[in-house]
Structure 1
Amino acid sequence: MATLAEQVQGERMARIALSMIAEPNDPTTGYVLARHGGVETLRLIESDDEMPGLARADVLLWRERLAARVVPGLLDQVAQAERHGFGTLIPADKEWPAGLNDLGERAPYLLWSRGTVSFLTTALSDRATITGSRAATSYGEYVAGELATGLADEERVVVSGGAYGIEGAAHKSVLAASGQTIAVLAGGLDRPYPAGHSELLSRIGDVGLLVSELPPGAAPTRHRFLARNRLLAALSGATVIPEASPRSGSMTTVLAARELGRGVCAVPGPVTSVTSAGPNELIKQGFAVLVAQPSDVLALLDSNAPNRVVARSELGRNLGYRRPSSGAPGPSL
């Protein structure tokens, strides 16, 4: 019986298949893909070849994990996914956002898309990410909306994740201003999440852009949300946090932005508000620029001064963030 690598036709189909069997941000998959390309990566999954640079135990676990997902009819699922009408982008495409290449081995295998992919071809300074608490206050949603509107008025693309709270407020304000917005989802584009934002996300797909590294049919999970946050950071020249608790999942976007040398902005808020504790601490520690109006974000985006890259351990330690482990919960979403 032909192997999966023998059945796929070209790099695009190989990466589509890979997105169906490998979880996003998988370090071993990223390592192999960066060195060998999609078709060869599929072949190595089903082979016994040695893989220099990787521990044998890691390779065995990787092969066992991915080979279990190579099921009969997988390529039929690939064809069905393409028939949904969604586009795909791979690094060889001219529309592929160059900012994602800064992720190195953590770059997505491909992007599924619906909408105006030309939004991804602009300079990093033309895009700003706005993210934060789902349980936002009226203050946080108002500020997020004002910042998003101001950026839209200056023809900057607002990137966010489509969630309730801060992200929803940002998207809605951009659409109201007839601006440009991108929603980066943590599941398949045919499974809008949250369900309460189905109409909003459909509207973004019509006049803006929806993207995901997960294939159609994939459900959002905790891991996929946290993995998605690195894309929110990489796609923009700056990440803005209007509101978020110190242990919010949004803080992983801040960590990724700092590692990539991107700008980080935070909106100060009441010291009595837990949703302002995250931004206040970022400002206090000097890890974020204080912003109060759109022009502050624009100034950071347009600045040519390199951003100081702060190691994940340093930033996480100062914010009281602990990497998820078997005995400690990770940040809330």
Structure 2
Amino acid sequence: MTILSQIVQDERTARMVLSMLVEPDDAVTGRLLGELGAQELFRIAEGDDAVPGLSTVDAQVWRAQFQRPDTRTLEENLVEAERAGTGTLIPGEKDWPSALDDLGDRRPYVLWTRGMTSFLARPLNDLVTITGARASTSYGEQVAGQLASDLACAERIIVAGGAYGIEGAAHRAALAAGGDTIAVLANGVDRAYPAGHSELLGRVADDGLLVSEVAPGATPTRHRFIARARLMAALSTATVVVEAGARSGSMKVAQEAHQLGRSLVAVPGPVTSATSVGPHRLLHSGEARLVAGSTDLEQMIRQPVGSRGSVAAVRSRPAPSASRDARSVVEM
């Protein structure tokens, strides 16, 4: 019988298999991965030795993720991913985005890619995340599109999640301006989700970059959407929230950006609109700065990092109610 340790003959393959077995944003697995390396992690997962830092009961729970895997399917999936031309990046490689190392034990095990991985190696200040409501208004889409277009013309890379509404408008505007854009997915890079954006995501794959921490073939789930938020926040120097409900997934991205000490800005909207609640709460709490156009955003990005507040200072503040709401419900 084939066991996992016979499949994972090197660090890259081990991390690829790990992303097929363990859900993303598992801090226990992330800690062990950092301390032991992927191959040693699998040896311990399949053995009876003590698991560093875990009690006997916790070790049993952790090991359950590795029990009775369909190794034949795993091998077939690895071969299929190679045939499909899907790329992978692991920590330490040339194009690995060092910004993700700020996540510590929550760093992704591997990144699956389609497109220009060199975008990920650009300086942090070159990347800006734009996120917002799926059920956006024409006002929100116009603002998101204008910001993305102006930033793209200034040679910034637009990061978004490929969703309907604000994020789709940001991707389209960046492409129309001849700029660069990255779509961070909660599913495999071989799947178009949402299906209505299959053409748009195809264009991003051709001219920009699709990236995910889950393996090809993986479907989006609520947990994967929540986990993806930390990647969208960590990759960029700033996160811009353009329209969001009080408990939307975009507020989770904002929360992650705030906790990482990244710049967080919000676009105000009509007080009569439900999509203005999220940005207005971020502005009222002081988590976000108001941005009224690309000039404001560029000026903020160019400020020295120290003048935007340190990570330690941000993490010492209590989380406001808007952040607590963002943890409880995520739009999908």
TM-score (normalizing by structure 1) = 0.94
Q: CA deviation at 1:26?
A: 1.3
Which AA in structure 1 matches 2:245? S
**1:71, distance to aligned residue in structure 2 (A):** 3.6
Residue in structure 2 matched with residue 327 of structure 1 by the alignment: none
SS in 2 for 1:275: helix
Letter in 2 for 1:250: S
Give, in angstroms, the shift of residue 69 of structure 1.
3.4
- Match runs of 1:170-189 below 5 Å: 170-189=170-189
Aligned-pair CA distance for 1:5: 1.7
Question: Which one-letter code corresponds to 1:331 in the other structure?
Answer: V
The alpha-carbon deviation at position 57 of structure 1 amounts to: 1.8
Q: Residues 316 and 60 from structure 1, CA distance in 2 versus in 1: closer, same or farther, beyond 3 angstroms? A: farther
Contact 1:259 1:312 (C-alpha < 8 Å) held by counterparts:
no
**Superposed displacement of residue 51, structure 1:** 1.6
Give the Cα–Cα distance (whole angstroms) in 1 for the partners of residues 226 and 141 of structure 2: 22
- 1:49-198 map, 5 Å: 49-198=49-198
Question: SS at 1:152's partner residue?
Answer: helix
Corresponding residue for residue 331 of structure 2: 332
Shift of 1:320: 5.2
How far the C-alpha of 1:121 sits from its partner, in A, is 0.8
Counterpart for residue 46 of structure 2:
46
The SS at the match of 1:131 is: strand
Change (3 A) 1:312 1:332: farther
Q: Write the distance in 2 (CA, Å) between the matches of 1:204 and 1:99.
A: 22
CA drift of 1:70 comes to 4.8
Q: Deviations over 1:250-285 (max 9, x none)?
A: 111111111111000100111111101110111111
Contact 2:251-2:326 within 8 A present in 1 as well: no
The one of 321, 326, 333 equivalent to 2:325 is: 321
The answer to whether the 8 A contact 1:191-1:217 is kept is yes
Provide the residue aligned with 2:13 in structure 1. 13
Helix, strand or coil for the counterpart of 2:243? coil
The answer to which of 248-257 and 47-56 deviates more is: 47-56
What do residues 91-139 of structure 1 show as CA deviations (whole Å, max 9, x unaligned)?
Answer: 1211000100000110110101111111111111000000011000111
> What amino acid sits opposite 2:98 in the alignment?
A
8 A contact 1:157–1:179 mirrored in 2: yes
Which residue is equivalent to 2:260? 260
Q: Is the 8 A contact 1:3 1:43 kept in 2?
A: no
Could you tell me whether the CA contact under 8 Å between 2:237 and 2:263 is conserved in 1? yes
Pairing of 1:25-44 with structure 2 (within 5 A): 25-44=25-44
Counterpart amino acid of residue 278 in structure 2? G
In the alignment, is the contact (CA less than 8 A) between 1:149 and 1:173 conserved in 2?
yes
Shift of 1:67: 2.0
Structure 2: segments with no counterpart, 5+ residues: none
How far apart are the structure 1 equivalents of 2:221 and 2:240?
Answer: 24
User: Is the CA contact 1:163–1:194 (under 8 Å) kept in the aligned structure 2?
Assistant: yes
SS in 2 for 1:315: coil
Task: Give the superposed CA RMSD.
Answer: 1.6
Q: Deviations over 1:262-319 (max 9, x none)?
A: 0001001111111011101111111101001112111222211333343498234355
Does the CA-based 8 Å contact 1:255-1:316 persist in structure 2? no
What one-letter code is carried by the residue in structure 1 that aligns with 2:171?
H
CA separation in 2, counterparts of 1:180 and 1:279? Answer: 26
Matches within 5 A, 1:252-291: 252-291=252-291
Residues 318 and 204 (structure 1), Cα distance of their counterparts in 2 relative to 1, 3 Å cut: closer
Report if the CA contact (8 A) 1:135-1:164 is conserved.
yes
- SS of match in other structure, 2:305: coil
Task: Tell me the distance in 2 between the aligned counterparts of 1:32 and 1:70.
Answer: 23
Give the Å deviation of 1:243. 0.6
| Aligned-pair identity (%) | 53
Letter in 2 for 1:332: E
| 8 A Cα contact 1:161 1:232, kept in partner | yes
Q: Quick one: distance in 2 between partners of 1:34 and 1:117?
A: 23
What is the aligned partner in structure 2 of residue 251 from structure 1?
251
Is 227-236 or 24-33 further displaced after alignment?
24-33
Q: Do the aligned partners of 2:252 and 2:327 also contact (CA within 8 Å) in 1?
A: no
TM-score by length of 2: 0.95
Is contact 1:128–1:157 with CA below 8 Å preserved after alignment?
yes
The equivalent of 2:199 in structure 1 is: 199
8 Å CA contact 1:246–1:320 kept in 2: the answer is no
Q: For residues 195-245 of structure 1, what are the alpha-carbon distances to aligned partners after superposition, in whole Å with 9 as ceiling and x for unaligned? A: 000000000000111101111110011110110111000100000001101
Question: Per-residue deviation at 1:53?
Answer: 1.4
Contact 1:255/1:312, CA 8 A, preserved across alignment: no
The answer for the alignment partner of 2:232 in structure 1 is 232
